Amino acid sequence: MVPWKYGFKSIKSIVRFEFTEKQPPNFWNAVTPNEYDFWANVNPSVPHPRWPQATERVIGTWETRKTLLYNGYGRWVAHLY
């Protein structure tokens, strides 16, 4: 299962598994580390440099709601962080 809101963090394909001592950089946080750090788009209390992450707009409406930690998938993914 891949939550839709993870966007740039979503898996595209698996080529191999490699276990490392620390998190390696990925494409987005290597290209723009100030915008796409480890907590980008998953922790609403960590603001993006150009916009807040504390609220989100419901697709297809103008309704806004509070962004949930881990986009509401904490039960399944919190242990990964």
Q: Where are the domains of the chain?
A: 44-81
Cβ 57 vs Cβ 66: under 8 Å: no
C-alpha pair distances (Å), 53 with each of 7, 20, 50: 14, 30, 10
Q: How would residue 64 be classed by pLDDT, with cut points 50, 70 and 90? A: very high
- Maximum average pLDDT range among 39-43, 49-53, 66-70: 66-70
Contacts of 76 by beta carbon, 8 Å cutoff, 6+ apart: 1
Q: Check residue 3 and give its pLDDT.
A: 55
Q: Read off the pLDDT of each residue in 29-51 and give the average, rounded to a whole number.
A: 77
- At residue 8, the 3 state secondary structure works out as helix
Among candidates 71, 48, 66, which has minimal Cα distance to 56? 66
pTM flag (> 0.95): no
How many whole angstroms separate alpha carbon 81 and alpha carbon 79? Answer: 5
